[in-house]
Structure 1
Amino acid sequence: MVRGNHNAPAPVPVEDSFSPYYLHPSDNPGLQLVSQLLDGSNYINWSRSISTALLPKNKLLFVNGVLLRPSNDDLLFSAWLRCNSMVVSWLRNFISPHICSSIMYLDDAHEIWPDLRERFSQCDSARTYQLKQQLMAPSQGNSDVNTYFTSLRTVWDEYKHTQPLSWCTCNHYRCDSASRWHKQLEDDCTVQFLIGLNHSFSQIRSSILSMVSLPSLSKVFSLVIQEERQRNIDGASSHISPSPSEMHYSVNAASSFYGRLKLLCSHCGKTNHTVDRCFTLHGFPPGFGHGKGKEPPKEYASSKLVNFVEAFIPDSSDKTVPVASLPSVDQCQ
């Protein structure tokens, strides 16, 4: 069994990537950590973004007071001074100019961080009233479900930040009150989200509220967004336009029908046929007569017969011309 060498020298903190004194070659005072500037009204979101960005770089210890300034004769004083100056530069880069001027002479990151928290994190009664007012009557309106959920969640998270973390009854944080309090706040936000949905989502809302255990907020949002997508699919299917071939056929059929209505014979003055198909001028088809079982007049006996191309529909106002009967099979042959 090979034993480790206990006499091996410990790694130098400035060279150890797990040490808070380590600086990566890509770290520089102008590094882009977050995408938003602190303007005074967005401290909650800004502080969480900065904390999340400093944690993987192992530099959060410089702002929360865990790694305080060592004495000047400490071997790590120069390393601490270098890392602290880097963190201070990052903080100043993401603070609006009118706020940054008030902290320009604070050289310790641990002094800047609590100073900003004391000035901007306190939610006064007026802001609490505004948040409660927005949460009392949420409304989706003309927004889609995703936009409505995002705006409501933003307001709710800010309001939740003003509430206590838990209602501990044992003073030792062993009663699991923190998780239960968090679950209660999430259920309240879920109910607020369902209240603000439009009336068209009443069916899915009733289905969710009828569940024995109220689902999580993310699950409720997933169910509602699926319902909205299904409606968009059904709505698109009911408004599908006809294909080009169907449109071409319908246009041709309509134009052919209305085209026949515009036909006018220059010989007899009747509609629905032209002079080249006028029975009076070219002769009547076989079996056509002025009475049942009668032959056509003699003056038409020697007339030129034409093919029975179109149905003869005489003018109802003309009482001298009877309605034509359909030809028999022998006549068609």
Structure 2
Amino acid sequence: MESPMNSASRFIEPTQDPCFVYYIHPADNTSLKVVSDLFNGEHYSSWKRSLILHLSTKNKMCFVDGSLPKPPSLDSKYKAWVRCNDLVIGWILGTLGPLIIKSVFFYKTAHEIWKDLEDRYGQTSNAQMYSIQEEIFAAHQEDDSIPEYFARIKNIWDQFDDVCPLPICTCSGCTCNLTMKYLKIQQDQRLLQFLMRLKASYQQVRSNVLMMMPLPPINQAYNLLLQVERHKQLSESGHSSETMAFAADRKKFYKPPHQNPQFGNYGSKPASGDNSYPSFRQNMGYRKRDLFCDHCKMTNHTIDKCFKLHGFPSDRPHQPKKFAHYAHGDDNNSETDSPFTKEQLNAIMSYISKQKDSKSKNSVPLIGESSNSAALFAERY
């Protein structure tokens, strides 16, 4: 027969035995955060669901639903029950807003607090259903992604299901499948709500889904839209990468004229205060037609860059134009080498000078008023 001493040595405190409902983990305390948002009288179903999950994992639901009554004061489990009850009360009060805490603070048991809150906020009302329906119709995608938009509207649907659940057939051996039919109608309605509030950029996908007979499940439509969104993101990122790569290559291989050897010193940076030097845009050829050399009477450059006056660069691949020499009567060039006579060259120079003067006066000469030199020029070309 077992001795009383051995029996006493095997006695375990109820709060230390994980198999008992009175077990309290060393990390359990009243300051433990149970839900993310405090309950202030709105979204009672969400608050209730979060609290039930926590109490169920801690094996303490019996203290709020009343299934574990308070034992007599002489019972060995009395102190363990009181300790667990106070712990659950602390968890509940930690999830309530300031105003609601004041209304339930002096209740002695967790079951009394739970029953009071259920009576006040757990009853379905027309105003509550109206408020949820209003949230559903106001939900639009706007700037949200597809996952964010779907999570937001699905949360509202779940709240509506909590206050207004679908009817369930309780007939034994029922073959009408009425519950499944109701569920299909509800899913089709929610699919339409989800599609009609999408952004205009998903219009083509929405049309494709609506063409399906019967309508697909809402999760299938969500997956389709998610793939389209990811494809758009990849396309945009790919286009951006190609643009950046092109800009990088252009910056790598492009050199300004004053840094490019094939241009010589042309386009080098002018000295400070030198206003006669053409701008960089002129050097690049944007307004070269407005330039005129007073020395050789030619366009496309100024006197400070005239090769005739300053000499040609040694590394320049081509030779100067011969008719510029003939225009100035250069003795080093024979008339037999020139494509024009000296009179024709003088006429061409005169025509160019007249054109320059007409541009400065914002007037364009008529074709009929051209000089004989212009006619000679046209006849030659």
Q: Identify whether the pair has TM-score above 0.5, normalized to the shorter chain.
A: yes
Larger Rg: 2
Instruction: Report the Cα distance in structure 1 between the residues aligned to 2:176 and 2:67, rounded to whole angstroms.
Output: 28
Instruction: Report the Cα distance in structure 2 between the residues aligned to 1:31 and 1:180, rounded to whole angstroms.
Output: 44
C-alpha contact 2:326 2:333 (8 A) present in aligned 1: no
Match of 1:243 among 240, 247, 263: 247
Q: Do the aligned partners of residues 180 and 136 (structure 1) sit closer, same or farther apart at CA in structure 2, a change above 3 Å counting?
A: same
Q: Could you say which residue in structure 2 is the equivalent of 1:14?
A: 15
Instruction: Report the Cα distance in structure 2 between the residues aligned to 1:205 and 1:297, rounded to whole angstroms.
Output: 76
Instruction: Report the Cα distance in structure 1 between the residues aligned to 2:326 and 2:170, rounded to whole angstroms.
Output: 114
Q: Do the aligned partners of residues 217 and 62 (structure 1) sit closer, same or farther apart at CA in structure 2, a change above 3 Å counting?
A: farther
Matched, 1:203 2:207: no
Give the deviation of 1:88 after TM superposition.
0.7
Match of 1:266 among 294, 298, 306: 294
Q: Do the aligned partners of residues 110 and 280 (structure 1) sit closer, same or farther apart at CA in structure 2, a change above 3 Å counting?
A: closer
Instruction: Report the Cα distance in structure 1 between the residues aligned to 2:299 and 2:323, rounded to whole angstroms.
Output: 20
Instruction: Report the Cα distance in structure 1 between the residues aligned to 2:239 and 2:57, rounded to whole angstroms.
Output: 52
Give the deviation of 1:51 after TM superposition.
1.0
Give the deviation of 1:35 after TM superposition.
1.7
Instruction: Report the Cα distance in structure 2 between the residues aligned to 1:81 and 1:174, rounded to whole angstroms.
Output: 50
Instruction: Report the Cα distance in structure 1 between the residues aligned to 2:225 and 2:219, rounded to whole angstroms.
Output: 10
Q: Could you say which residue in structure 2 is the equivalent of 1:310?
A: none
3-state SS of the aligned residue for 1:55?
Answer: helix
Q: Could you say which residue in structure 2 is the equivalent of 1:80?
A: 81
C-alpha contact 1:262 1:271 (8 A) present in aligned 2: yes
Give the 5 Å matches for 1:109-120. Answer: 109-120=110-121
Q: Could you say which residue in structure 2 is the equivalent of 1:309?
A: none
Q: Could you say which residue in structure 1 is the equivalent of 2:91?
A: 90
Give the deviation of 1:179 after TM superposition.
6.2
Q: Do the aligned partners of residues 58 and 193 (structure 1) sit closer, same or farther apart at CA in structure 2, a change above 3 Å counting?
A: same
3-state SS of the aligned residue for 2:57?
Answer: coil
Mean Cα deviation higher: 178-187 or 230-239: 178-187
Instruction: Report the Cα distance in structure 2 between the residues aligned to 1:11 and 1:196, rounded to whole angstroms.
Output: 60
Q: Do the aligned partners of residues 180 and 85 (structure 1) sit closer, same or farther apart at CA in structure 2, a change above 3 Å counting?
A: farther
Q: Could you say which residue in structure 2 is the equivalent of 1:257?
A: 285
Q: For 1:285-308, what per-residue CA distance to the aligned partner results, in whole angstroms no more than 9, with x for missing partners? A: 699569xxxx9689434159xxxx
Instruction: Report the Cα distance in structure 2 between the residues aligned to 1:178 and 1:91, rounded to whole angstroms.
Output: 35
Task: Give ranges in structure 1 of 5+ residues lacking alignment.
Answer: 1-6, 305-312, 326-333
AA of the residue aligned to 1:302: N
3-state SS of the aligned residue for 1:257?
Answer: coil
AA of the residue aligned to 2:195: L
Q: Could you say which residue in structure 2 is the equivalent of 1:139?
A: 140
AA of the residue aligned to 2:292: L
The RMSD of aligned alpha carbons is 4.1
Give the deviation of 1:165 after TM superposition.
4.6
C-alpha contact 2:292 2:298 (8 A) present in aligned 1: yes
Give the deviation of 1:159 after TM superposition.
1.6
Matched, 1:148 2:149: yes
Give the deviation of 1:149 after TM superposition.
2.3
Give the deviation of 1:58 after TM superposition.
1.0
Q: Could you say which residue in structure 2 is the equivalent of 1:68?
A: 69
Q: Do the aligned partners of residues 167 and 155 (structure 1) sit closer, same or farther apart at CA in structure 2, a change above 3 Å counting?
A: same
Q: Could you say which residue in structure 1 is the equivalent of 2:222?
A: 221
C-alpha contact 1:265 1:278 (8 A) present in aligned 2: no
Give the deviation of 1:209 after TM superposition.
3.4
Q: Do the aligned partners of residues 300 and 229 (structure 1) sit closer, same or farther apart at CA in structure 2, a change above 3 Å counting?
A: same
Give the deviation of 1:152 after TM superposition.
1.8
Q: Do the aligned partners of residues 85 and 172 (structure 1) sit closer, same or farther apart at CA in structure 2, a change above 3 Å counting?
A: farther
Instruction: Report the Cα distance in structure 1 between the residues aligned to 2:320 and 2:307, rounded to whole angstroms.
Output: 15
Q: Normalising by the residue count of structure 1, what TM-score does the alignment of the two structures yield? A: 0.74
Match of 2:330 among 282, 294, 300: 300
C-alpha contact 2:187 2:218 (8 A) present in aligned 1: yes
Instruction: Report the Cα distance in structure 2 between the residues aligned to 1:180 and 1:84, rounded to whole angstroms.
Output: 44
Give the deviation of 1:136 after TM superposition.
4.4
Instruction: Report the Cα distance in structure 1 between the residues aligned to 2:22 and 2:166, rounded to whole angstroms.
Output: 32
AA of the residue aligned to 1:243: A
Q: Which structure dedicates a bigger proportion of its chain to helix? A: 2
Instruction: Report the Cα distance in structure 1 between the residues aligned to 2:165 and 2:159, rounded to whole angstroms.
Output: 12
Q: May I ask how many residue pairs the two structures share in their alignment? A: 305
Q: For 1:101-120, what per-residue CA distance to the aligned partner results, in whole angstroms no more than 9, with x for missing partners? A: 11122111111112101111
C-alpha contact 2:39 2:47 (8 A) present in aligned 1: yes
Instruction: Report the Cα distance in structure 1 between the residues aligned to 2:175 and 2:28, rounded to whole angstroms.
Output: 41
Q: Could you say which residue in structure 2 is the equivalent of 1:231?
A: 232
Instruction: Report the Cα distance in structure 2 between the residues aligned to 1:258 and 1:297, rounded to whole angstroms.
Output: 28
C-alpha contact 2:296 2:308 (8 A) present in aligned 1: no
AA of the residue aligned to 1:257: G
Q: Normalising by the residue count of structure 2, what TM-score does the alignment of the two structures yield? A: 0.65
Q: Do the aligned partners of residues 13 and 133 (structure 1) sit closer, same or farther apart at CA in structure 2, a change above 3 Å counting?
A: same
Task: Give ranges in structure 2 of 5+ residues lacking alignment.
Answer: 1-6, 258-280, 313-318, 335-347, 357-372
Identity %: 30
3-state SS of the aligned residue for 1:14?
Answer: helix
AA of the residue aligned to 2:250: E
Instruction: Report the Cα distance in structure 1 between the residues aligned to 2:111 and 2:174, rounded to whole angstroms.
Output: 28
